[in-house]
Structure formats: structure tokens, C-alpha cells
Amino acid sequence: MMMSIKKIVLVIGFSSLLTGCIQDDAQTSAVTESPASTKTPSITMTDAEAIRQTALELGARAASWQLSHLDNFDYIPERNREKTANPREWMQAAFYVGLTHWTDTVNDADLVNQIAQTAGDSDYQLGYRPKHGDDHAIGQTYLWVYEQTGNAAAYAPTQKQFDAILADQPTNSLEFFEGDQPGFEGTCQDRWCWADALFMAPRTWLKLSNATGDPRYFEYGDSEYWATADYLFSDDYGLFFRDSRYFERKSENGNHVFWSRGNGWVFAALPLIIDDLPDGHPSTARYLDLYTKMAKSLVKVQNPNGYWPASLMDADKVKTPETSGTGFITFGLAWGVNNGVLGDKPSADAVKNGWAALATAVDADGMLHWVQQVGKSPDPVQENETQLYGVGAFLLAASEMTQWETASKTAGLPADD
């Protein structure tokens, strides 16, 4: 989905600003280059048409594989199998964010019907925790169904639940702590006190405002978004701490812990939010400013093999590939290039290298490999591990890469060799 003319005009100034910052040798950012952690991918993406065709082929293959594996989750570790199988949980919600984006890209009416049927089978209900951001994530799909079909019943339960939140807005601290009860991670999660939540919840609130014409929903979502961003974003590194427990935490190698997927959640959500914002929304410039700051930092820490390390400031902590973080980041950067927000060659190269790495992680059947399992920090990854949110990230990236043939024209980049 491309931005409106009004938004494109607005972002040109940010593009110029970012390009100038990248070329400035007097940078004060604490971000440094990451070493290689695995061998360079065997696929080299140079020709724009080849990239587009690869994205169409691999996106279709990955979507088909995952859709055909929604009735048996034996490939998911047992500890997460039950939640993964629940279509209202965030794992499936993240997959459907990618799938709906893919469906829009390829204009597949059959997929629209299939997604609408699945949403209806869930009675359009959110998760079981009324205020928890993860349990708001599936609302993005319900509201997308409304956009496609005009069926207002698709968002009625979400509106009812959000009305209750507006009537009793949480005011707790964003400081993260773990309680005594197993699985309880503190009352801070009544608000969006962890980075992942910025992918899960705010866009649902935005889409509800767009659907109903009632600005109160996104006024709340916008306010809560920036409360979290101001709290967790590191100005020194241009990256997000996963939550307050990581402010001072260091890796075994003495580096700050900035989780690839945690930052990928935030970074991928920014284009989705920006594209859904009404023209002239007063927060647009602020979201774009955050986007360009993150893009600048993320380009610098990509491994030479095309993947982003699971621990962004410590590539030696997890040396294997990791595709969920790489998928989200590749999507975010590709959106910036395709829409003229990022007009510099390093950003374009990072996108092509990221996509080349992702392309090697999808096997002949369509299974995406090297996906870190459910967690909250950089953890070891095995080649045969996959998860629905990883496929969602991949589909977001594939969707954007189908537009890559026009990127050099849009962003003013040199044509591919």
C-alpha cells in the first residue's frame, strides 16, 4: 500500500534529513557495525524484476504452507502449542497482519473470504485479557475484514471492549516487574509497557477510529503509544529496550541488550500505522521521525550475511540466523525505500541483503526456518524452528518486495545493475 500524495510530500523532508544524518561523519550515535555470524546467502538480489518475482513466488509459498498447517501444531514446542493454536492469540494475530497485507498486495478474493470466515468463526472476539495489548492484536484483522466487506459486526466486540477501557483508563506505572503468581508479569501490562505491544495494540485502536469515525479511540492509542515510546526508546542507540528490566541489563559480552524481534515489532508497526493515519493527522510527523531514527540505527547493525543479529548490539550472542526480527526489519526498511522516506543507498542495500537472506530460509515446501520461539530476549535458534509470527513478518516483507521494481524510481536511487 503506497502513501497518499500528501504523505509523500511530507516525508520528503524527513528523507533529506535522514540522508544528511547518514552522510555526517560527526555522528554521535552509539551504534556500531556488526560482524558476520554465518555464511553469506547463496542468492544475490540485484535485478529488480528478479526480486519482485522472487517475492511473489516465496510469499505465495509461505502463505500456502502456513495456511495448510493451522489444524495441527505438532511443529511448535509443546509449551507454546496450545496458545499458538488459539486464533485469538497474538501468535496467530501477527500472522494475520502479514497475511492481510499479502492479500491486499496480490488482490486475492479467495483469501479475503477465507480470512473473513476465520474471523467470523471466532465471533470477532479479542483475547481473554481485556486490557492486555497482545490480546488486542487480532482486532487488526477484524477491522480489516470490515474494510473489505462492510460488515460492522466484525468490530462490534472490539468497540465494546475498548469503550470499557476508555471508561476506566489504566494509570499504572510502565515499570516492568514480575509477580509471585506463575505467568504473571506485573500490572504494568494493563498498559503497553513492553516494546512488542506497540505492534499489537495501537493499530487496532487507530483502525477502530477509522471505522467508526470516533476519534477517541486513537486519541487514547496515540497517547499511550508515545508514553511507551518515550519510556523505552534509547536516544543513544536509536533502538528500543524490550522493557524496563533491560535498561541496565548487559549481555555476557558486556553489551546492552537490544532484541532484534522486539525492535522489529516496533519498526514494522510504524509503516502500518503511518499508512492507516488519516491525511493531516498531527502525529504523522512524529511517527515518521521515530521511523527514520530507527532505520538509521538498524541499517548499521545488519550482519554482512543479510540477517540482523538476534541481539542487535552483540552479534556474537546468537550466531545463527533469525528470521522473525529480520523479516520485520526488512519490511520496515523496504517500505521506507519504496515510499521515498529513505533515499540513501545503504538503506536500499540493507533491504536487498535482508531479502536475500530471508529467501534462503524458505524451503521448497514453503516452511520458513530459523524463527526464534516465543520469548522476550535474544535466545538460541534452531534451523527447523518456525512460528506463525515469523511467517507474518515474512509476508509483510514479501508484500513490500513485490513493489521493489519501482523503488529506484520512487526514492531517487541508482538503478539496479
Q: Which residues of the chain have pLDDT under 70?
A: 1-46, 178-186, 405-417
- What pLDDT is recorded for position 181? 60
Q: Which CATH number belongs to the domain containing residue 259 in this structure?
A: 1.50.10.10
Residue 261, judged by CB atoms within 10 A of its CB (0-12, 13-18, 19+), counts as buried
Judge whether 244 lies within some domain.
yes
> What does the block give as the cell for 50?
528478479
- What pLDDT is recorded for position 39? 41
- What pLDDT is recorded for position 187? 80
71 is catalytic: no
Total domain count, the chain: 1
> What does the block give as the cell for 164?
470499557
Judge whether 380 lies within some domain.
yes
Rounded-to-integer distance, Cα 290 and Cα 267, Å? 9
What range does the domain containing 269 cover?
5-411
Judge whether 180 lies within some domain.
yes
Judge whether 416 lies within some domain.
no
Judge whether 55 lies within some domain.
yes
- What pLDDT is recorded for position 47? 87
Judge whether 123 lies within some domain.
yes
Which residue is catalytic, options 196, 243, 276, 314? Answer: 196
Judge whether 417 lies within some domain.
no
- What pLDDT is recorded for position 178? 67
- What pLDDT is recorded for position 182? 56
Collapsing DSSP to helix, strand or coil, 186 comes out as coil
Give the Å distances, CA to CA, from 345 to 54, 217, 239, 305, 350: 21, 38, 21, 17, 8
Judge whether 355 lies within some domain.
yes
